[in-house]
Amino acid sequence: MASMYLRGRVWWGKWSSRGRTVRQSLKTQDKREARRRLRELEAQTAGGERHTTSKETWDTAAADLFSYYRAYGTRNP
């Protein structure tokens, strides 16, 4: 569920995406246009635009870290 509010003369939107509250300027002074932009933004976040997660495992991360330590001599693995 999204909501709109005024900050000065500009409309802002507030909604929840993946458990976090998102607040963003709708960059308009017209309430009708702000409502339209808010619906678009809410649909984008609910529509599946997701950030990709890394498939890297702990073993590859540890191997990379040890190779960095060997190359720069900062730690003794």
d(CA 77, CA 33): 59
Averaged pLDDT, groups of 10, the chain, 77 residues long: 94 89 94 95 72 70 88 72
Q: Decide if 32 is inside a domain.
A: yes
Quick one: pLDDT at residue 6? 97
What is the helix (H) or strand (E) element at residue 38, kind and residue range? helix 31-46
Quick one: pLDDT at residue 1? 77
Closest CA relative to residue 36, chosen from 72, 4, 68, 76: 4
Quick one: pLDDT at residue 18? 79
8-state DSSP, 51: P
Q: Decide if 77 is inside a domain.
A: no
Residue pair 35/12 in contact (Cβ under 8 Å)? The answer is no
Provide the residue range defining the domain that includes 5.
1-48
Quick one: pLDDT at residue 42? 85
Quick one: pLDDT at residue 76? 59
Into how many domains does the chain fold? 1
What is the residue type of 29? Q
